[in-house]
Amino acid sequence: MFRNITIGQYVPGDSAIHKLDPRVKIIITFIFIIAIFFINKFSGYIFAMLYLWLVIRISKIPFSYVLKGLRPVIVILLLTVSLNMFFTPGGTVLYTLGPLKITSAGLKFAVFMGLRLIFLIIGTSLLTLTTSPISLTDGIEHILKPFSKIGVPAHELAMMMTIALRFIPTLIEEAEKIMKAQMARGADFESGNIVNRARGLVPLLVPLFISAFRRADELAIAMESRCYRGGHNRTRMKKLEVHTRDYAALFITGVIVVLIVWNRSWAW
């Protein structure tokens, strides 16, 4: 159940995508997310698909592993598609289910929104899959550093976001252990309807929350015992530098964004 969650996971590698500056990867991810919302026709998704395919191939991450990250959100995908399909008026009525009607415009818009959600999930997951937690922290901190002049705690925010992402795989592993222990004691998480399955998760969620609070407390004690004082006067062994490959990645991303925006005026 939980092993399919890839959010927060990091896949070590030596590819060009892994070597990119984390600041550049964060900026590229935000640019890609914004570009996805500029797509207003199906042909625009062709450029986004080619871009993601190129990134996955260069990063050498198995395509099946990337798609595995969609399984935990399949319910959200189905819900989004269903709501848009039944409640979007216009076009020819294709099917009637009581008071609900599926129209050609609703079906088209539902598929369109489903693809948008899929591309957003894959695009954002590639950031954590190819960036280590330490690099991600440094990248977020450097991006937020200009806002520290107006009182924004850049280092603390970056640390909090990275710890939250880093705890996801840990909690997933912990949930798997608790689930196996509960199943060994006769717990059933698979049979029954949705309500029964939700009730069956209670014996899993309570110890999981207790474990999460315990780990957070242990992490706080460990940081205090090492005299952690935030980002003040902090030094780094590796300084972030922008190289030629980073500019090349920004250029390729810019070309894709231009094509996506230009596609809005195309007839097809």
Q: pLDDT (tens digit, 9 = 90+) per residue, 221-255?
A: 888 887 777 666 666 667 778 889 999 999 999 99
Reported as type and span, the H/E element at residue 53 is: helix 44-59
Q: Which of 133, 127, 153 is nearest to 219 (CA)?
A: 133
Reported as type and span, the H/E element at residue 30 is: helix 22-36
Q: pLDDT (tens digit, 9 = 90+) per residue, 176-185?
A: 787 777 777 7
pLDDT band at 109 (very low <50, low <70, confident <90, very high): confident
Q: pLDDT (tens digit, 9 = 90+) per residue, 79-105?
A: 888 888 888 777 777 777 777 778 888
Distances (CA, A) of 116 to 42, 51, 65, 151: 10, 14, 20, 36
Q: Which of 49-58, 129-138, 235-244 is predicted most confidently?
A: 49-58
Amino acid at 235: T
Cβ-contact 9, 129 below 8 angstroms: yes
Q: pLDDT (tens digit, 9 = 90+) per residue, 136-157?
A: 888 888 888 887 778 777 777 8
